[in-house]
Structure 1
C-alpha cells in the first residue's frame, strides 16, 4: 500500500501539470482519476521531503461566497452576489440561483468571467469545462426545490482543480448525491458545504455527502453563528472541529490531513 501511495503522488502532480497546460482542449480531471484509482488516499504524509507543494488561499467573504486565490494569482469568487472583494473584481465569479443571495444579475463589469450554475437556455443544463490560468473549472448539476417540486439542474456544484487539489463548492445543495453525481465529481479534498437546517441538507445527509467525496477539509457556509456551530458539533466522531481566528485558510497537498477537519473561519462561527 505504501508503494501505491508513493507512486500515486507523482502521478497526481503530473495530472495537475497537464491540466494547467491544456489551454486549448478539455484537460483530464485529476479528481475523477484519483477517485477511480485509490479513493481513500491521504497524500500529506507521503509527499517527498524536498517538495514544496504550491498553496491555495481560501477566504470567507460572506454567506456562500468564498474567494479562492491560486498559486498563479487567479481569483475566483463562489456563489457571488455582488460582495466587494479584497483586491477588486475576481477573474471568475460562479453563481447559483436558489436564492438572491447566491447570484447577481448586474455583476461588476470588471469581472473577467461569470459562470452561471443554471442553464441560460430553457431546458438545457449549465455545462462549464474550461481552464483559467492554472485552474481547471467544471461543474456538475443538481436539482433544487422550486414551488413545491424540484427544478432539474437548477444548481451547480463547481469544481476547481488547481495545485494538485480538488476543491468543490456545493452551491445550494437540496438533496443527497447519486452515484452518478459522485462519479462525475470524483474526489474533493476541500469542500464548501451549505448549512441552514431548512432547504439544504441536514447534518446526517451532509455527512454522507462529505464521506462519499473523501473530503479532508470541510468549510461550512450559508449560515453563521449558533446554527453553523451546532452543525459542526452534530457531525459527530471522525471529524476534528477547528475554530479559526482568521477569515483565510491556506491549503496545499502537503497540509491535507487525517482525520478530516471541519474548519469554521472567522466570520462563519
Structure 2
C-alpha cells in the first residue's frame, strides 16, 4: 500500500548554494548557517517506526534510524544507526551487519561518546547526557542527544533524556529546527520538564515519541497546547523541508507507538 506523505506547507526561507557544508551553529555563534545539501532540496523524509525509533532519509537517500533496537526497524537496513544505553528498547548488541555506521551514544569505559560523522549529505553529531541507572544512581554519559543535519534542516533526537539541559548543552546543540521528544512523563522526564526542554531549544517542529498509549500522549498535548499548534497525522511519514517549516511552533503526532 502506498504510504501517504504529509508535506508541510508553511513559511519560506532562502537556501544556501548547493554543496555547502552544513552547520547547526551554536546558538551564541555569529557564524552564518550554511547547509549540507543533497541531490535536490525536496527535504528530509521522517517515518515513525515506534517507541523512540524514526527512519530519517535525506534527499540523497542516506538513511538513519534513531535508537535502533533491532525490532522497530525499516524494511531495508539503514546506512546509519544511533543507539542509547537506557535499556534494551533503545539499543541492541546485535545490529544488522549491513549497517554501515553503528553510532553508540555512550562508551563502555564511562566516558562521553564523541560523534562527528558526515556521510554523503547527512551530518551526525551528539551531545552526551547522564541517565539514571537501575540501582537509583547515575550513569554518566549514558545517553546522547543526536543531531542530524541535511538539506538545511537540523533534527535533534533527545533519546532517553533524564534531566533538563544545562546552558552548555543548549549551546552545543545549536539551532534546532525539529525535536524528537520522549513524552512518557515517567521513565524519562516529567511532561512539565520535557516541555521546559522544548522551551530551551525553541524548535519549529516537535515529534512526540516514547509515550506508550494515547492517554499519556493526550496529557502532553494538553500541557503544551497554548504554546504549540497541533497536527495529528494519519501517516507515519512526514516530509520536512527548510522552506516549509511552520511559522508557529507545531507538534505533529505520527502514528506508530
Normalised by the length of structure 1, the TM-score is 0.82
Aligned partner (choices 155, 169, 176) of residue 157 of structure 2: 169
Structure with greater helix percent: 1
Aligned partner (choices 114, 130, 150) of residue 127 of structure 1: 114
- 5+ long unaligned stretches in structure 2: 1-11, 34-39
Q: Which has the higher contact order (CA 8 A, sep 6+)?
A: 2
Answering whether residue 252 of structure 2 is matched by residue 263 of structure 1, we say yes
SS at match of 1:168: strand
Deviation (angstroms), 1:38: 9.7
Answering whether residue 81 of structure 2 is matched by residue 93 of structure 1, we say yes
Aligned 8 A contact 2:49 2:55 in 1: yes
SS at match of 2:217: helix
Q: Runs (4+) of structure 1 moved beyond 4 Å?
A: none
SS at match of 1:31: coil
For 2:219 and 2:72, the matched residues in 1 are separated by: 29
- The residue number in structure 2 matching 1:56 is 44
For 2:51 and 2:187, the matched residues in 1 are separated by: 15
- The residue number in structure 1 matching 2:238 is 249
Answering whether residue 219 of structure 2 is matched by residue 214 of structure 1, we say no
Evaluate the alpha carbon distance shift between residue 200 and residue 105 of structure 1 in structure 2; reply closer, same or farther with a 3 A threshold: same
For 2:197 and 2:19, the matched residues in 1 are separated by: 28
- 5+ long unaligned stretches in structure 1: 1-5, 20-28, 42-51
SS at match of 2:64: strand
Deviation (angstroms), 1:212: 1.9
User: 1:82-231 maps to which residues of 2 (within 5 A)?
Assistant: 82-83=70-71, 85-120=73-108, 122-146=109-133, 147-224=135-212, 225-231=214-220
Deviations 1:208-232, CA, capped at 9 Å, x for gaps = 2112212011001112322112212
Q: Compare 134-143 and 205-214 and name the one that shifted more.
A: 205-214
Evaluate the alpha carbon distance shift between residue 128 and residue 38 of structure 1 in structure 2; reply closer, same or farther with a 3 A threshold: closer
What's the C-alpha RMSD, in Å, of the aligned pairs?
2.3
Deviations 1:145-171, CA, capped at 9 Å, x for gaps = 112122111100000111011111000
Aligned 8 A contact 1:189 1:216 in 2: yes
Q: Compare 219-228 and 185-194 and name the one that shifted more.
A: 219-228
- The residue number in structure 2 matching 1:46 is none
Deviations 1:112-166, CA, capped at 9 Å, x for gaps = 110001013x132111001011011100000001121221111000001110111
Deviation (angstroms), 1:192: 0.3
